[in-house]
Amino acid sequence: MKTRTILIWLLLVLAGGSLVYHFSKSSKRSIFTKRATGAAYEVLVVMNKEDWSSEVGKQLKKQLITPISGLPQIEPSMRITYAEPDQFNGLLSYVRNIIQVQIDSTLFTKVSVSKEQDVWAMGQEVIRIYAPSEKLLLPYLHEEGALLVSYLEEKELKRYASYLVESHNQWVKDTIKSLFNVQLFASKELSSFKVSTNFFWATDHGRNGRTDLLLYSFPYTDKHTFTLDYLVSKRDSVLGEQIEGGYPGSYMTTVKHLPPSYETMKRNDTYCGVMRGLWEMEGDMMGGPFVSYAYLDEKNQRIVVAETFVYAPNTDKAKFIRRGEAALQTLRFMSTD
């Protein structure tokens, strides 16, 4: 037993921390699993070269690089790397997001899609697409390709949200709980704050790109609260008063000539309205993207809005706004029982 323990310890040391040790109760044996590698929002596409060069490959690529909604400039949803099937081995099998496409009329009779986690590495998402022909696969990608991209984007948001749960700003968490009786995990980088009645604001003062977080609440009156016009009006009212620019009399407002996108959904079992758009400072030369989640607190008949906005002139903004949005997705109402 002592020799076995020493052997396990030695293997862990030799792994240099890159491998995770798991004990499987079902097999009663130890399993070493590699952690997924690669940057956030990168995807490896594995398919035959001729298929990748065909209309099917072009359509898949088009869907994966669809511009991110709500940004002031074009930034792709995903960054793509490509490999042929016989190249897919070793380190490539550890990539965090993988799409495998196989077209073969002798194996498949219809288009099918499967999604699996942790196939070759921990924290990995693998999408497999099978089809008998390009003719059948192409319309599927036209109609459903955007959903595959949304699936990968959502998984990336959850990955970063999980990181925030493990490593977050405790003061921000405690302050937000005391103000709104909600739980929210935010970045440790937040360093400046403003707190008032039913309002919280924080920023990280990032040099290369500034990310801000804010929360505010107001009474829920009726279903018309969850309309784009109402939420934009409320946003302008609250932030116009609370968020000032660098010049006297300057204030934040929502860009109207490029209206925000809006959708409603269930988030953490809570009804939620999501806006994505652009903000600007009236009377100042500042602006950028924002994402706003309006959560319905049915028990207390109120709305709690959690928002992130970014100021990052002359640089890409996707990584900042996405990290901020991950924090918004961690919001949960605390029980008062």
Distance CA 321, CA 316 (A): 10
Q: Give the closest residue to 184 by CA, choosing from 194, 192, 193, 174.
A: 174
The overall average pLDDT reported for the chain is 90
List pLDDT tens digits, range 103-136.
999 999 999 999 999 999 999 999 999 999 999 9
For every residue of 261-302, DSSP letters joined together read: EEEEEEETTEEEEEEEEEEEEETSS-EEEEEEEEEEETTTTE
Average pLDDT on 202-229 reads: 94
Average pLDDT on 65-81 reads: 96
List pLDDT tens digits, range 218-249.
999 988 899 999 999 999 999 999 999 889 99
Tell me the pairing of strands 251-254 and 270-282. Answer: antiparallel
Residue with tokens 């949960």: 332
Asked whether the predicted pLDDT for residue 309 surpasses 50, the reply is yes
Asked whether the predicted pLDDT for residue 12 surpasses 60, the reply is no
Asked whether the predicted pLDDT for residue 276 surpasses 60, the reply is yes
Check residue 72 and report its DSSP letter: S
Check residue 85 and report its DSSP letter: G
pTM for the whole thing?
Answer: 0.87
Tell me the pairing of strands 125-131 and 112-117. Answer: antiparallel
Phi, psi of 286 (to 5 degrees): -135, 150
Residue with tokens 């758009």: 277
The confidence score (pLDDT) of residue 103 equals 98
Share of the chain above pLDDT 90, in %: 84
In this structure, of 19-28, 60-69, 99-108, the range with the lowest mean pLDDT score is: 19-28
Distance CA 97, CA 88 (A): 13
The confidence score (pLDDT) of residue 279 equals 98
- Domains, the chain, in order of start with CATH, read 9-34 (no CATH), 42-164 (3.40.50), 168-333 (3.40.1000.10)
Check residue 244 and report its DSSP letter: B
Asked whether the predicted pLDDT for residue 282 surpasses 90, the reply is yes
Q: How many CA atoms lie within 13 A of 321 on its CB side?
A: 26
The confidence score (pLDDT) of residue 223 equals 85
